[in-house]
Amino acid sequence: MDNVAKISEVPNFGKKVVSISGREILLVNVKGTIYAFENECPHQGSPMSAAVVKDGYISCPRHGYRFSLTDGHCAEHPEFILATFSVQLNGDDILVDL
Ligand code: FES
């Protein structure tokens, strides 16, 4: 697992993009639970950093496809899956399995 950021760098209901080995990873904090996604929509590649997070979904800012926070699946367009990564917290460190 890679140590990618500190929890204190990702505010509650906020986001942070980190670059790991040339790959952009989007971290999202929902009430202390940290999620990690590829920062690129699987539909047409829009950055997910401007996405809206609400009701268990992250919605792409471009066409509004909604992806599950837990597994990246899109109920309306199941052929598109947002890449998600498992996260572990260790003190203030966010560890992501890339
Ligand atoms: S680019 Fe994300 S929904 Fe189209």
pLDDT tens digits, one per residue of 64-94: 999 999 999 999 999 999 999 999 999 999 9
pLDDT band at 21 (very low <50, low <70, confident <90, very high): confident
pLDDT confidence of 48, banded at 50, 70, 90? very high
**Cα–Cα distance for residue pair 42/7, rounded to 1 Å:** 26
Per-residue b/e over 39-49, b at no fewer than 16 CB within 10 Å?
bbbbbeebebb
Nearest ligand 1 atom to alpha carbon 60:
2
The domain that holds 70 is classified in CATH as 2.102.10.10
- Average pLDDT of the segment spanning 23-44: 97
Query: What total number of domains does the chain contain?
Result: 1
Q: Taken in order 85, 93, 34, 39, is the CA torsion positive or negative?
A: negative
Report the C-alpha gap between 5 and 59 in whole angstroms: 23
pTM reported for the whole predicted model: 0.95
Domain that holds residue 90: 2-97
Please, are residues 69 and 60 in contact by the beta-carbon 8 Å criterion?
A: no
**Separation of CA 52 and ligand 1 centre (Å):** 13
DSSP symbol at 60: -
pLDDT digits (tens, 9 = 90+) for 4-18: 999 999 999 999 999
At 18 the pLDDT is 97
